[in-house]
Structure 1
Amino acid sequence: MADVIDQIFETWESLLDEPGTGSQSARYRISGSPRFGAYLAIRFDDRAPVLEFGPITPDLLKDAPLPSIKGVDSGLSYHSQELFLSLTLKQPASIDIFLTLAARLTDELSGVDYPITGYNVIRKVLIVWRAFFSSEKKILSGSEQTGLAGELILATMFMDNGIEVAAVIRAWKGSERSHHDFQLPLASVEVKATVAHNIETVSISSLRQLDPTGTKKLFLAQVAMDSHDYGDQTLPRLIENIRQRLSSFPADRLEFEEKLLASGYRDKDESHYAQQSFQIRKVRAFRVDENFPKLTHDSIPEGIVEATYQINLGTVALQALTFDDLMLAVSSSQND
């Protein structure tokens, strides 16, 4: 079965091929039930993509209005004398975000029978998705590209060494601004990626980053890479590799796409990322325990509420774990 996100993009391509002019529109059903459906549509006058939901009753909007989303107009439309809620994209540059939103709504509305249930699902999803449309950010900076590449490389290594593909995607939290980049069932892993020659110093951005509270085990994993012009390990290729691995996991593929958007990565900017290739130089890890140098809320004087600092890993070099050691540690509850 094709991923829902691929189906949505294919549906949009089909709509673009539909004949129509002026105020005409065309639409395809993408989800729902006989009582309540979701449709992807195109307006031929401006080629704008539209999501339509219904039929609905006007009182639904009065009781709980939809959140305002930058670049997306909400309104009402009629089809066969029935009322439908519509969302129209007004920013063509955000078409990839809009279609990924359509995929999420397709998944969430699958099997929904009643308008009130469907409307509440739509409203809940849109509240979360406001942030995807509000960002003014353009392409990722050099350090952001390095950080994302390091996380994706480590994710791929986890997959190659026995952790289920879907489980790795669910565990990846880096784009969610969580305290730790990977939250596996038996351990959490904070990733520090670098293309610098000197790998002895790492920067810690908050007092929560190396706080093991709430985790069974916490590790700091350092992914040291060399950066080259034109190679096999560019960001687009790393991402395509993971997309292919997720071909049998449609729900997790959609989650992966959402996390990519949250990280700031957009397929439309692929040309900006196709020239830099990241080759693994070294992967090592450290158990963040009472012997590892760190600052946390419990270890600082009263009155200090936040701090950024650097750690010299040379002082704990003898504690370094190989990647195989890390795999054993995050896979076994007996390794304490």
Structure 2
Amino acid sequence: MMGLIDRWHRLEEADAANQGLKSLVYSSLLYRTYIGSIHGLRCLYIEIPKSLGNRFEDVPSYEGLAITVTETSYEQDGCTSLILTSGSAEQNDEFAVIAEDILASLTGIEEAEAYVRSISQKINDWAVFFKRRKTNVLSRSEEIGLFGELLFIRNQFEAGVQDADVWWNGPRKTAQDFQTKKLAVEIKTTTANEIAEVHISGVGQLSLDDEYAGGNLYLIVYRLVVDDLHGLSLPELIRQIVERIPEKRRPLFCAKLECIGFFEEQSDKYNGKYSSAECRVYHVKDGFPRITRDVVPAAILKAEYILNLNACEAYRADFNSVIDSLKG
């Protein structure tokens, strides 16, 4: 994510005269993609086949996202450009999160129809977000889940990891909550009386994506307890983390939170206070009980299951092993 953001920053600095400069990104995708900025608004240019451009002609724009299909002077033969534009300069960082999510969903797709369908689905997903933004607060289960992910970020900062916020996927629908080239971590959070089982929401959640093959994969489970005396509310935990993040990175972190559905002005809606009563770490490797893509027939599009953690004791690991993998 920071790579894309940094490129946007460099492009914006180079285009101080607002000449509409563009930069090629994600050249490994099926079609070329560019980022740019027009009158202070970030833009994402995605080339798609002309024959499929009409799929987006009647798609409405939303508060934070404008959508147009037009031909420019730089497309490959037979292509047109789907142009996504930030709704306002204040939403540029949110837009960067959305752009990264859309582009990540296109990785590995080799067929035009599937490529365009994935873009359309992502736009629809984000449309739902824009319709509900600032009108709904997170559900309690969403609040607990976010609390656990943020707790892991704080724990990393406390252990000396300086970029804990950077490799957090936040709202992106990726296999794991945290991913680097050498490490992936999935966070589960519960308020049950004991850590006995967790819900695995997909066949890819406990397996590494191809681009991360060869790295380590960990499952970390936090058990929270209500603690009005010594605990933290979700907004309080967020403020602790923001204080540790360098000022340059704070807007992106806050944009991720907003794309999840947390808005600072709604902080008074989150009154519950929690403490971490237990943290378990599991090294997900050969032999770990899980369902992976290679054993699931292609016709099965989605699968969920409950994992009995009592049967995973042989794979328990120390939290420091995760930190060592990050620093190594």
TM-score by structure 2 length? Answer: 0.62
SS at match of 1:173: coil
| Aligned counterpart, 2:233 | 234
- 1:179 to partner: Cα distance: 0.9
- 1:206 to partner: Cα distance: 0.7
User: Is 1:264 aligned to residue 254 of structure 2?
Assistant: no
**Cα distance between partner residues in 2 of 1:310 and 1:148:** 20
Classify 1:69/1:199 alpha carbon distance in 2 versus 1 (closer, same or farther; 3 Å).
same
**Cα distance between partner residues in 2 of 1:302 and 1:35:** 51
| Aligned counterpart, 1:133 | 130
- 1:222 to partner: Cα distance: 0.7
User: Is 1:281 aligned to residue 258 of structure 2?
Assistant: no
**Cα distance between partner residues in 2 of 1:179 and 1:280:** 24
| Aligned counterpart, 2:62 | 70
Is the Cα contact below 8 Å between 1:235 and 1:277 reproduced in 2? yes
1:81-96 matches, within 5 Å, as none
SS at match of 1:262: helix
- 1:263 to partner: Cα distance: 1.1
Comparing 200-209 and 293-302, the one that deviates more: 293-302
1:314-325 matches, within 5 Å, as 314-325=310-321
1:150-189 matches, within 5 Å, as 150-164=148-162, 167-189=163-185
Classify 1:300/1:99 alpha carbon distance in 2 versus 1 (closer, same or farther; 3 Å).
same
Q: Please tell me the residue identity of whatever aligns with 1:135.
A: R
Is the Cα contact below 8 Å between 1:228 and 1:278 reproduced in 2? yes
Q: Please tell me the residue identity of whatever aligns with 1:142.
A: R
Is the Cα contact below 8 Å between 1:69 and 1:133 reproduced in 2? no
Classify 1:328/1:141 alpha carbon distance in 2 versus 1 (closer, same or farther; 3 Å).
same
- 1:138 to partner: Cα distance: 0.6
Residues 52-100 of structure 1, C-alpha deviation per residue, up to 9 Å, x if partnerless? 948xxxxxxxxxx9x84334799xxxxxxxxxxxx9x9xxxxxxxx674
Is the Cα contact below 8 Å between 1:231 and 1:276 reproduced in 2? no
Is the Cα contact below 8 Å between 2:175 and 2:209 reproduced in 1? no
Classify 1:33/1:328 alpha carbon distance in 2 versus 1 (closer, same or farther; 3 Å).
closer
Is the Cα contact below 8 Å between 1:100 and 1:258 reproduced in 2? no
TM-score by structure 1 length? Answer: 0.60
**Cα distance between partner residues in 1 of 2:166 and 2:295:** 31
User: Is 1:331 aligned to residue 323 of structure 2?
Assistant: no
- 1:302 to partner: Cα distance: 5.6
- 1:207 to partner: Cα distance: 0.8
Is the Cα contact below 8 Å between 1:201 and 1:313 reproduced in 2? yes
Classify 1:299/1:129 alpha carbon distance in 2 versus 1 (closer, same or farther; 3 Å).
closer
**Unaligned runs of at least 5 residues, structure 2:** 1-12, 20-37, 41-56, 67-84, 97-122
Q: Please tell me the residue identity of whatever aligns with 1:289.
A: K
Is the Cα contact below 8 Å between 1:186 and 1:331 reproduced in 2? no
- 1:232 to partner: Cα distance: 4.3
1:299 corresponds, among 292, 295, 311, to 295
Is the Cα contact below 8 Å between 2:284 and 2:315 reproduced in 1? no
Sequence identity (%): 26
- 1:267 to partner: Cα distance: 1.3
- 1:244 to partner: Cα distance: 1.3
- 1:300 to partner: Cα distance: 2.8
